[in-house]
Chain A
Amino acid sequence: GDSVTQMEGPVTLSEEACLTINCTYTATGYPSLFWYVQYPGEGLQLLLKATKADDKGSNKGFEATYRKETTSFHLEKGSVQVSDSAVYFCALSLMEYGNKLVFGAGTILRVKS
């Protein structure tokens, strides 16, 4: 079945450090890929997305590139801030299945000042 695997956390970084959160997927069709972020006590909100191979999604300094050959969608940021502390979820969806989302387990990011 369809699944998403992302690196386990928590990931603890100092402010201005580089961030990479790995995400790989398996899918029966051609999925759209997403990164969602959840700040403490809140719901999920979209961080970025990509709908086809080689697309790069970007937002708030975060980037991820849809790599079909390696079935990956790694999240990167060159310089993290304390305000980036949150839980990050990689997810995929397939139009054939009513736009249902399949999520990874989530990665907790803690940024220290």
Chain B
Amino acid sequence: NAGVTQTPKFQVLKTGQSMTLQCAQDMNHEYMSWYRQDPGMGLRLIHYSVGAGITDQGEVPNGYNVSRSTTEDFPLRLLSAAPSQTSVYFCASSYSTLEAGNTEAFFGQGTRLTVV
């Protein structure tokens, strides 16, 4: 099973450039999220989605856009890259049921982004 697939694995951008980080999952999970990981700060939620067509902001949404046109895909767009967006980005998917409650999140391998 592929699970959660993120591309690219590494990216270097110049300040002001835009780009899209791709995320796809093949588990039919309803929930998808984007996190950024910075040293000493754990993972912080950027945006999340509870289903196709529904997205909402997380803790650190500024400078990022998302859309969820299908259950499988949840791309993250950097509108105008800034050095403060240098980070490792993780996409995750999960689901919940009344019986099991919140299930674990499945993470992609991450995208290491450097903005110069």
Contact = CB atoms under 8 A, between A and B. Distances in A.
B60 to A, nearest CB: 12
Chain B interface main SS type: strand
A85 interface: no
B68 to A, nearest CB: 12
A43 B110 contact: yes
B74 interface: no
B104 A34 contact: yes
Contacts, number: 68
Number of chain B interface residues as a range: 20 to 34
Contacts of B92: 44, 101
Interface stretch (B14-22, B76-84, B94-102): B94-102
Contact of A100 (B41, B58, B107, B110): B58
A99 B76 CA distance: 19
A89 interface: yes
Given A99-B94, A99-B96, A100-B58, A43 B104 contact: no
Contact of B104 (A49, A100, A103, A105): A49
B75 interface: no
Interface in B25-82: 31, 33, 35, 40-45, 48-50, 56, 58
A101 B40 contact: no
Nearest to B109: A43
Given A34-B104, A52-B101, A102-B45, 4 more contacts: A99-B105, A100-B33, A101-B45, A103-B44
